[in-house]
Amino acid sequence: MSETVLLRAKVEKSKIDRFICFIAELLSETRGFIGCINIDIYQNCRNPEEFTFYENWESIEHYECYLAMRSEQGVMDTMASMLQTPPDIQYFTRLNI
């Protein structure tokens, strides 16, 4: 069974292009990280400062290992410097109903 992670981020208006480039540079490594099933990034059509990362991981533990690695690399701090507020991360399990 996989877990779905939704990370929502509100980016500073003046930093949107930089944020997109920054995230694009990381995606290949993210998609290759152990436990990552897939990741897609969405930008809100009506509010372009809002981004949603839709991710599927083999487990929450795999995702937490990934976050720890990114934090050690300084990626989370760099990302935070472009955001209006801290990212909102939520975990979901699909119900088979």
- What is the 3 state secondary structure string of 10-24? EECHHHHHHHHHHHH
In order of 31, 63, 64, 67, 80, the CA distances from 4 in angstroms are 14, 10, 13, 15, 22
Ordered by where they begin, the domains of the chain are: 3-93 (3.30.70.100)
pLDDT tens, position by position, 43-74: 999 999 999 999 999 999 999 999 999 999 99
pLDDT, tens only, 77-86: 999 999 999 9
pTM greater than 0.85 (yes/no)? yes
3-state SS assignment for residue 4: strand
| pLDDT for position 94 | 87
pLDDT tens for each residue of 12-53: 999 999 999 999 999 999 999 999 999 999 999 999 999 999
3-state secondary structure at position 85: coil
